[in-house]
Every structure is written in C-alpha cells, then in structure tokens.
C-alpha cells in the first residue's frame, strides 16, 4: 500500500459510508520506474499503519510530511513559515531571492479531504525551482467540514492575494484532493465573475466526481471513491463541484500531470481533453509505471522531473504569458 493508498483507506474509515471491498486489480510490479522510485515506494509500503482515531491519523500524516518535507526544505534552502491569511491557516514557502513583487503560487494540498498530505512536500522543491513564494492553504477538513467550506477557505486566501498581486501574477495548483479543490476554486471564481489566475496546475485530480473512470477500477476502489464523494457533497453533479459538467470556456491555461498506475489517471486525462476541446491551452504529462501523486511522498529522478515540469509551466505563464 502506497502512502496515498493509505490515505484513501484513512478517508473511508473516517467516513464509513460504504462496506470495505477488495483492493485494486493485482498486477505485477512495474519495472519501468527508476531504482530510486522503486526503493521509495517499497519504503512507503513498509510504513507503520496510521492509528485508528481521526486525531491520530492526522498526526501520522503530519509526521510523514515533516519526515519527507524537512529534508526537501533543507535541500532547496526554502524557508517555511506558519501564518494566517484572511483568517485561514496557511504555510508560506519562500525560496532564496524571492521578490516581494514577484509572482505567487496558491497551493491546495492533497489528503482525501481528511488529512494534510502535501502542504510541505508539494511545495518545497517547487518554490525553489520557480523562485516564487507559495502560499499553501490549510483548509478545513472532513468529516467536520464539507463542501463548500474548503473552497471558501481557498477563495478567502485568493481574494487576499489579489489585493497584493494582480491575478495575472497568480497561479493555483493542487494534487489529488487539492487538484479537485483547485478546479472547484476556478469554477467558483468564474461563477462570481472574479479575476481568474494566470494558470492552473491540475495534478492527479478529478473534475467530475460522478465519473471516476477506468483507472479507479484498475488501481483504486470505486466504492471508497463513491463514499468519499457522498461524504464531501450532497450533489456531486453540480458544476461548482464537478467543473467538467459546466462550461470550461475561458479557463486559465492548465497543466495536467498524472502517472500510469494512478487511480485518478482517467479523471485527469478526461479533464485535460475537455479543456482542450473547449479551446483552453491544456497539456497532459504522464509518468510511466508510477502510482498516484508519487512526487508528494518519494524522492526519485521522476519526482525531480515532475517538479521541473511544473516549474517550467508556471514560469512560462507567469513571466512570459506563453
């Protein structure tokens, strides 16, 4: 079980709305990932399982964030500060030489809407590679908080940022649940006729909670996904929840990123294709043989390549507008 597979199990235990079912299709281990990636996945498989309580599971996830994230902060010489913005808890990442008037990235972390599984590990490298500050929104979590409360938190932070930076100097991105929230934030901004960010990073997410796709059957658990969807929102067909079901015209340029054994590969690809059909600049990058959101919890050449691709996309959009 990988780190993010464990998080899916955590989420189901926190919101037990469906019976447990058999795991994903049993496939032979992938041989295409690098030796470092295979070692990292094996190390995560060997982790001590999280405890049974919500508080214990969140502490477990935070401990993993610190274990993986602190060395990344040191490697990239990025400073992390705990703060609040618009009344919302945030982590701010500042790389060497970051300009006060430079572009800024708004991150929404992964973790199945129930834990923080990425507010450090998704941002340490990317801050350094772009040279931009990153504001990671530590939004309210399930089961105590459902849609739209996490999006409300993201919107509050985004509104605060646009008082300091023009929207064309802001990009929004997220991984897994954070990718879902990132798309929901853009949909909300459009609905309220607010200025859109210059770019969207949609990394291993879904923009249609009604349709998990074939990869969920192969590599995930459709019943768990359905249970999480019901726990998260009453109407998953609402375009504010599932933007793929609304108009995508005028969306910001989007980088979609996933991997060959990602249970959200189908959903990520479907969204990218729909954006392209709507005339939006959209590109999909796929890493062979790796599981869901691997860059957030293993250190490997593929992780470096994923962050490099993200950084090149954001720099091109925020510096050059290309």
Give the active site residue among 109, 119, 292, 296.
Answer: 292
The reply to whether 23 falls in a domain is: no
Q: Give the separation between CA 158 and CA 128, rounded to whole angstroms.
A: 21
Tokens describing residue 298: 């293993």
**Separation CA 72–CA 304 (nearest Å):** 11
Which domain covers residue 111, as residue numbers?
3-16+34-320
Domain membership flag for residue 88: yes
22 is a domain residue:
no
Backbone φ and ψ for 32, nearest 5 degrees, come out as -80, -30
Catalytic residue among 262, 270, 296, 299: 262
Whether 11 shows a pLDDT value over 80: the answer reads no
Residue with tokens 């079912």: 21
Kindly report the CATH number assigned to the domain that includes residue 159.
3.40.50.1820
Give 206-225 pLDDT, tens digit per residue: 999 999 899 999 999 888 88
Active-site choice (176, 204, 206, 296): 176
DSSP codes joined into one string, 254-311: EEEEEEEE-TTHHHHHHHHHHHHHTT--EEEEEEEEEETTGGGT--SHHHHHHHHHHH
Task: Identify whether the C-beta of residue 309 lies closer than 8 Å to the C-beta of residue 303.
Answer: no
Task: Report, as an integer, the average pLDDT of 264-275.
Answer: 98
Q: Give the integer Cα–Cα distance in Å for 298 and 240.
A: 32
Report CA-CA distances (Å) from 150 to 72, 79, 182, 201, 250: 27, 25, 10, 18, 24
What's the domain count of the chain?
1
| Residue 292 bears catalytic tag | yes
Known active-site residue 5: no
Ranking 70-84, 103-117, 213-227 by mean pLDDT, the lowest is 213-227
Predicted local confidence at residue 52, as pLDDT? 86
Q: Is residue 131 part of a domain?
A: yes
**Residue 72 or residue 322, greater confidence:** 72
Rounded to an integer, the average pLDDT of 230-254 is 97
Q: Is residue 173 domain-resident?
A: yes
- In eight-state DSSP terms, residue 113 is T
Residue 5 pLDDT greater than 60, yes or no: no
- 26 in any annotated domain: no
Q: Report the chain's mean pLDDT, rounded to a whole number.
A: 91
Best CA proximity match to 158, nearest among 102, 89, 86: 86
Burial of 269 (0-12, 13-18, 19+ CB in 10 A): middle
Give counts: helices (H), strands (E), the chain: 10, 8
């Amino acid at each position: 079980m990988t780190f993010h597979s464990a998080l899916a199990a955590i989420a189901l235990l926190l919101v037990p709305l469906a019976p447990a079912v058999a795991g994903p299709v049993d496939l032979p281990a992938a041989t295409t990932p690098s030796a470092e990636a295979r070692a990292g996945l094996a190390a995560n498989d060997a982790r001590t399982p999280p405890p049974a309580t919500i508080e214990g599971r969140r502490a477990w996830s935070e401990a993993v964030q610190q274990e993986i994230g602190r060395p990344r902060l040191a490697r990239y010489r990025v400073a992390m500060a705990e703060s609040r913005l618009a009344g919302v808890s945030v982590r701010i990442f500042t790389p060497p030489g970051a300009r006060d008037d430079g572009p800024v990235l708004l991150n929404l972390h992964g973790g199945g809407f129930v834990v923080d599984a990425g507010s450090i590990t998704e941002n340490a490298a990317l801050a350094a590679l772009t040279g931009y500050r990153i504001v990671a929104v530590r939004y309210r979590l399930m089961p105590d908080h459902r849609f739209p409360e996490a999006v409300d938190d993201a919107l509050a932070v985004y509104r605060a940022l646009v008082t300091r930076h023009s929207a064309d100097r802001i990009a929004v991105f997220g991984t897994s649940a954070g990718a879902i929230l990132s798309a929901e934030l853009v949909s909300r901004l459009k609905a309220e006729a607010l200025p859109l960010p210059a770019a969207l990073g949609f990394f291993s997410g879904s923009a249609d909670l009604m349709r998990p796709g074939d990869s969920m059957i192969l590599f995930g658990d459709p019943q768990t996904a359905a249970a999480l969807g019901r726990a998260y929102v009453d109407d998953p067909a609402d375009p504010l929840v599932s933007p793929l079901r609304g108009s995508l015209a005028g969306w910001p340029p989007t980088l979609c990123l996933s991997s060959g054994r990602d249970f959200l590969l189908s959903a990520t690809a479907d969204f990218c294709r729909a954006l392209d059909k709507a005339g939006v600049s959209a590109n999909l990058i796929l890493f062979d043989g790796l599981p869901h959101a691997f860059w957030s919890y293993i250190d490997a050449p593929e992780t470096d390549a994923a962050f490099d691709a993200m950084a090149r996309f954001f720099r091109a959009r925020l510096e050059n507008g290309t």
